[in-house]
């Protein structure tokens, strides 16, 4: 079985002002582009897509950059999505990106905060057991 690594481009919302702004007021985002949000330590995080004009996929990641939860956020809702588990990172991509690319819970998204490029590493499948 071949596990494909997916290359993406990320914009990093680092300052509190950038994190508050997020993707607000943007009309679109290029294919395979996204935005990251990093926090000092894992905690329950809450996000919404107020004033965002397109639907987005939102992934909550743990301190090791492993995807713990994935949600679809509809454009400009008033509903907040809160992580069920403590998360330290959030990645927002265009709606449908994760499903289209087979990205799932347990996969990792790895990046350096000073670089725009990132990779998604699929979770290794379990080894078959001998009977």
Each residue of 36-68: pLDDT tens digit? 999 999 999 999 888 888 999 999 999 999 999
Residue 130's pLDDT is what?
55
**Alpha carbons 59 and 89: distance in angstroms, whole number:** 8
Residue 2's pLDDT is what?
46
**Alpha carbons 92 and 104: distance in angstroms, whole number:** 14
**Alpha carbons 69 and 127: distance in angstroms, whole number:** 24
Which domains are assigned to the chain?
Answer: 6-121 (2.60.120.1140)
Contact predicate 107/121, CB 8 Å: yes
**Alpha carbons 78 and 44: distance in angstroms, whole number:** 19
DSSP state of 66: B
Residue 85's pLDDT is what?
96
Residue with tokens 């265009």: 94
Per-residue three-class SS string for 21-47: HCCCCCCCCCCCEEEEEEEEEEECCEE
Give the pLDDT means over successive 10-residue stretches in the chain (131 positions). 72 84 84 91 91 92 95 86 95 94 90 70 58 52
């Amino acid at each position: 079985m071949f596990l494909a690594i997916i290359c993406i481009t990320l914009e990093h919302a680092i300052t509190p002002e950038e994190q508050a702004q997020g993707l607000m007021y943007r009309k679109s985002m290029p294919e395979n582009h996204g935005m990251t949000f990093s926090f000092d330590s894992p905690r329950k995080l809450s996000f919404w897509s107020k004033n965002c004009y397109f639907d987005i996929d939102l992934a909550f990641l743990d301190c090791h950059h492993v995807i713990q939860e994935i949600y679809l956020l509809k454009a400009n809702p008033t509903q907040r999505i809160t992580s069920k588990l403590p998360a330290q990172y959030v990645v927002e991509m265009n709606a449908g990106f994760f499903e289209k690319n087979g990205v799932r819970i347990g996969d990792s998204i790895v990046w350096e905060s000073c670089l725009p490029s990132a990779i998604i590493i699929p979770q290794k499948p379990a080894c078959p057991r001998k009977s």
